[in-house]
Amino acid sequence: MVVVKVHGLTKKYRDFTLSDVSFTLSSGRITGFVGRNGAGKTTTIKSMLGMVHPDSGSVSYFDMPFAGNEAAIKKRIGYSTGTVSWYPRKKIIDIVDIVKRFYDTWDDEAYRNYLRLFEIDEKKTPRELSEGMKVKLNLALSLAHRSDVLILDEPTSGLDPFSRNELLNIFEELRNRGTTVFFSTHIVSDLEKCADDIIYISKGKIINSMPKSEFTQKYSNAGESLEDTILRLEGGVFNA
């Protein structure tokens, strides 16, 4: 079942254009959104969350257009864009005490489990956390309200290999519970480990959107890893 539909997103900047970006996300699947730095991943995600106003195109969740249903949709999705960069001098416990009041489905027990798993001390302030810990805090907040769809911008960037592995395992657990996970990354090995579908973006255009198995079948040479395939394709696009 399609839970997120992105159709024809276009956004023009002086030196970059996001062109006619369209894809769908299906329920209970992990989709990796891959592309090199500056390919348009963050602009696409911000457009999906209403933080960037596209010149044209539309985004709908659960068959509801985002425009006009923003609050209702945001309650059913979890999202994080990069690391925690807000309220550096407020205690995490005070920030979370405010955040959780916005969600009817906030699960305090799940939140505490994630804090334990990520070894986050909520008496600290965000400025006392390392970049990796900030990513984990953002994830704990995104995961604690039992969202149907999880949208994460570069969640594995800045994480050590152990934390990355933990995180990818969490994605798989969430998928098994029926949650749709959509995450952008430029680390192709993340996709190899857990993605069901791959959306590949280059220079603001979607090059491909398909199941990972179909992607490797279509593009990979014999014995070639997914990372090598994408590097080769990126080179082709780049040289085109």
Interface residue with other proteins, options 22, 85, 130, 225 (CB under 8 A) = 85
Establish if 93 lies at the interface with other proteins (CB under 8 A): no
28 in Cβ contact with 179 (< 8 Å): yes
Establish if 75 lies at the interface with other proteins (CB under 8 A): yes
Establish if 50 lies at the interface with other proteins (CB under 8 A): yes
Nearer to other proteins, 85 or 217 (CB): 85
Establish if 143 lies at the interface with other proteins (CB under 8 A): no
Taking residues 102 to 121 in sequence order and writing x for each that binds other proteins by CB under 8 A, - otherwise, the string is xx------------------
Sheet holding 77-81, edge to edge: 77-81, 149-153, 180-185, 30-34, 197-202, 205-211
Output the six-digit token pair for 235: 């080179």
153, amino acid identity: D
Stretch that binds other proteins, among 73-81, 167-175, 194-202, 204-212 (CB under 8 A): 73-81
- H helices, E strands: number in the chain: 9, 10
Size of the site for other proteins (CB under 8 A): 26
Do the strands 64-65 and 56-61 form a parallel or antiparallel pair, or are they unpaired?
antiparallel
Q: Where are the alpha helices (DSSP H) in the chain?
A: 41-48, 70-76, 92-99, 108-118, 131-143, 161-176, 188-194, 212-219, 226-239
Taking residues 145 to 174 in sequence order and writing x for each that binds other proteins by CB under 8 A, - otherwise, the string is ------------------------------
Nearer to other proteins, 27 or 81 (CB): 81
Residue 239 buriedness (CB in 10 A; 0-12 / 13-18 / 19+): exposed
Torsion of CA 150, 151, 156, 159, to 10 degrees: -70
Establish if 89 lies at the interface with other proteins (CB under 8 A): yes
Establish if 98 lies at the interface with other proteins (CB under 8 A): yes
Nearer to other proteins, 87 or 207 (CB): 87
Stretch that binds other proteins, among 34-42, 56-64, 96-104, 160-168 (CB under 8 A): 96-104
For residue 172, the minimal CB distance to other proteins (Å) is 25
Output the six-digit token pair for 181: 């996970």
Contacts to other proteins by CB under 8 A: 46, 49-53, 70-71, 74-75, 79-81, 85-90, 94-95, 98-99, 101-103
